Structures are given as C-alpha cells and as structure tokens.
Structure 1
Amino acid sequence: MTVIESITEINLPVEKVYTFLADLNNHQQLMPENIYNWSSTEDTASFTIQNMAKLAIAITNRIPNEELIAVPTEKAPFDLELKWTVADNGQGGTTAKHIISADLNMMMKMLAAGPLQKLADHQTGKLKEVLV
C-alpha cells in the first residue's frame, strides 16, 4: 500500500475544520483545475480527473472532530482510501492531515505517486486558503 500524506496548520478550532471537511460539497473548493464534472452531496462526490479517470467517492467512516474516510463507490483504477484527520495543535488551531492510501503496483506507483502527492498537497494548501 502506498501512503501519501500532506499536513497543514489552520488557525481555526478543530470543530470548524471538521465541519467543513465533513461535507463533500465543500471539497470542490479544494480541487485542482484538472478536476471537472463535479457533482456532490454531503456524503458523496463524483468527478472527472482530466486525462485520467472518472471517480465517485463516499464517506464511509466519521469520527466527529477527528477523522473522515472516503472510498470509491464504483470501480476505480486501483484500491484507494482518502482520509482526513484533524487534531488540536495546542495553540487554539488545528493540524489537518490528508492521507491517500492507494494499492499501487510498481508500474502504477511510478505513474501515480507523484500526481497523488501533488493532489494531497494542493488540497491541504487550498484548505488553509479557504478556511481563513
């Protein structure tokens, strides 16, 4: 399993960050420009990644003010888990971590690991930007 992580610090309480992340409608704001055909509800999202694939995800696990896990609801090119964790940083703010776990063979890892890291970093950067 390939695990890709990106972390950011946000100057808002954990509850506010979690509430934003808990609604997949908000995640469109975190996506890079190569994501289109976005459609979402609070618990599901589907979108197309330019020159790659169409993906549909659903939140499968919620631990209030701690963790959210989303997985594909349709056949994806590889097994995938998208996780957000939030924790108090001890200064009234939040440490938010985006973890992408993907079951990649060596060839897929060479092709996909870089773009997945870029996606995770983009999403944490946008989260910090949006939640000001």
Structure 2
Amino acid sequence: MKLESPKVTLDKSAEETFNFLSDVKNFESLMPENISKFEVLENDKFLFALKGMPEIILKKKEVIPHSKIVLGAAGGKLDFALEANITEIEPNKTDVKLNFEGEFNAMMGMMIKGPISKFIETLVTNMKTEV
C-alpha cells in the first residue's frame, strides 16, 4: 500500500526543515491531538500511540541531507516506511511531502488506509506551524 500526503510549502530553508525533522523528538509537536503516548527511545528512534491504536516504534532508516528522511517500523508486526521528501523551491521556501509505504494483507489495508491517510495529512499540516 502506498499513500501520499498533500504537499505543503513552508517558509523555511530545506536545511532548517531537514534539521527539524532529523530530530525525532520534534515529531511530538507534529502529532495529531488524539495522541496518547510519545516517548523518545534513542536519538534516532521514538514510540507513539494514538488513542485506540497499538504503539508504533519508528526509527530513522535513511537520511539524505536536506532532501529526504525515511522512518521505518522498528519491530512489531507491521513493516512500513514513512518518507519525508524535502524540496527547496526558493532560499526560504520549501515543499514537504510525506509518503507512506507498507505491505499489508487486503483486510488490514482496508482497515488502516483511512487512519494512516489522515495521520500523514495531520503531520504535514502541523509542519506549517511547528517547523
């Protein structure tokens, strides 16, 4: 399953945006209001839970300075990746888009498609005020 967030434009440089997203503790400020738990486990790994959902651990898997950060599932039953693509369009204007990709059976895919789409949309929307 592949999902994409809407693209958002931030009034920040690609470097500033990348640095913000590289620090996993900053993801707490991007989370939806229905977050029930957030904990930094290591400097590249964090755990979060939304009300009514199981805990998810994300770990930085790939980093390309100022353009891409990939977070992947660290353990658990689900294997997926959340990729942030950062594109500087002017010196202090940057586009950010999130891509979610995971392998799920058809039933699981139907159950999580809506909540995951809403989740990644909330993350990018919150970047406008938090980054």
* TM-score, scaled relative to structure 1: 0.90
Structure 2: distance between partners of 1:75 and 1:111:
17
Deviation at 1:67, TM superposition (A): 0.6
Aligned residues: 129
Structure 2: distance between partners of 1:14 and 1:3:
24
Q: Is the 8 A contact 1:22 1:42 kept in 2?
A: no
Structure 2 unaligned spans of 5+: none
* TM-score, scaled relative to structure 2: 0.91
5 Å-filtered alignment, 1:96-107, equals 96-107=96-107
Matched with 1:18 is: 18
Instruction: Say which SS state the counterpart of residue 20 (structure 2) adopts.
Output: helix
Structure 2: distance between partners of 1:91 and 1:65:
13
Q: Is the 8 A contact 2:60 2:71 kept in 1?
A: yes
Deviation at 1:115, TM superposition (A): 0.6
Runs of 4 or more, structure 1, over 6 Å off, are none
Instruction: Say which SS state the counterpart of residue 87 (structure 1) adopts.
Output: strand
Structure 1 unaligned spans of 5+: none
Q: Which amino acid aligns with 1:57?
A: L
Deviation at 1:50, TM superposition (A): 1.6
Root-mean-square deviation (CA, aligned residues, Å) is 1.4
